[in-house]
Amino acid sequence: MTFSAAVDVAPTIELGDYQTLSIRAEETVYDPQQLEDWFKERQKELATLVPIEDRGAEMGDVAIVDYKGVSTSEGEEEGEAIEGVEGTDLEVELEVGKFIEGMVEGIVGMKPEETKELPLKFPDDYPREDLAGEPVTFTITLKELKAKELPELDDDFAEEVSEYETLAELRESLEKQFKESAEEETKQSIYSAITSELSAICTADLPDTLVQDEVTKVLTQTAMQLEQMGMDLGQLFTQENLPKLRENSRPEAVEKLTKSLIIQEIAKVESITLEETEIEERSNEIKEQLEGKEIDVDKLRTIVEEELISEKTLKVVTRKSHG
């Protein structure tokens, strides 16, 4: 009697010359204006609205308006009201890009109780297809006008928007965060360029079982993301749709798996290892971020080990490719 069994062959990885890579990556540079913009946004959030009666509307104010749109398209009766394009007590922040183009600019200069007609045009990408790109005349009545009174940038402000007691401490912390963020973006850009180059010069012969497992992982991650967005997974992940979904996810799965196996192979060649303290430190960081959520400790450890090995390997490749 003869027995036979199908056994997957281990993936075969052939490494190219990863020590002389030539890569181009975008550098993210810290811009001090980020810090000033952050403070401006927090000031706006804490602003007090003060009624204005003795001047016209200015950019940065908040206008309370009644509005009505009438069609001025060819073939339409002059002055025909557009259904659904009217309202009362609409709060409009007088900033560029708010409402449809020309609306804010038309309100600027108006005084409370003033009424004005604005000949405008709906943008081409307006949500209502029947109105997209069509001309319209808005009748605007400015009922109230309010100015934003911004809080002072001082220690009291710092305490209200953060855990710091002084503005200097808050500014120093934010500057450090923005700089670290820029450095991290640059690093990820370099790593992305390196993994792309590695995929180009290295080859991986992947057993189908591994690919199918990776396809399942990709679909699981997609399902989790869609579920967080509130989508009904039951309508998408049906028995009829599943084969097509798996087929569509295969290229992404192959790409991810190939890159992962190439990095693992380089890690072996370079004898890259992890200290237990490294694993514990990264695991604790993730646990803090997921505080209150159920965590699969074994799965977390596997993920952390893969991340750390990948990071250390890419650091080595980066260093060697730069001589």
User: What tens digit of pLDDT does each residue of 196-241 get?
Assistant: 999 999 988 889 999 999 999 998 888 888 888 777 777 778 888 8
Choose from 226-230, 290-294, 303-307 the range with maximum mean pLDDT: 303-307
Residue 1's pLDDT band (boundaries 50, 70, 90)?
very low
Q: What percent of the chain has pLDDT over 70?
A: 94
Question: Which residues of the chain are in CATH 1.10.3120 domains?
Answer: 12-21+166-321
- In contact, 318 and 18? CB cutoff 8 Å: no
Type of residue found at 68: K
Provide the pLDDT for residue 78.
59
- For residue 89, with 0-12 CB atoms within 10 Å meaning exposed, 13-18 middle and 19 or more buried, which class applies? exposed
For residue 205, which of 32, 11, 74, 8 has the smallest C-alpha distance?
11
According to CATH, what is the number of the domain 48-149? 3.10.50.40
CA distance to 72, 141, 146, 167, per residue, from 117 (Å) = 13, 9, 21, 46
Give residue 79's pLDDT: 64
**How far is the C-alpha of 319 from the C-alpha of 23, rounded, in Å?**
12
pLDDT number for residue 6: 46
Span between the terminal Cα atoms of the chain, in Å: 61
Distance CA 274, CA 272 (A): 7
High-pLDDT (> 90) share of the chain, %: 60
- From 256, 262, 243, 250, select the one nearest 314 (Cα to Cα): 262
What pLDDT band is residue 75 in, cutting at 50, 70 and 90? low
Q: Is the pLDDT of residue 154 over 80?
A: yes
Q: Tell me what pLDDT residue 74 has.
A: 62
Q: What is the pLDDT of residue 2?
A: 44
CATH 3.10.50.40, the chain: domain bounds: 48-149
For the segment 266-294, the average pLDDT, to the nearest whole number, is 90
Q: Average pLDDT of 182-196?
A: 92
Domain topology for 12-21+166-321: Trigger factor, domain 2 (1.10.3120)
In the predicted model, what is the mean pLDDT of the chain? 89
DSSP bridge partners of 139: 68, 117
Q: What is the mean pLDDT of residues 63-76?
A: 82
Q: Is the pLDDT at 7 greater than 60, yes or no?
A: no
Residue 51 or residue 22, greater confidence: 51
| pLDDT tops 90 at residue 107 | yes
Q: Specify the pLDDT at position 292.
A: 75
Can you tell me the distance from the alpha carbon of 65 to that of 113, in angstroms, rounded to the nearest whole number? 9
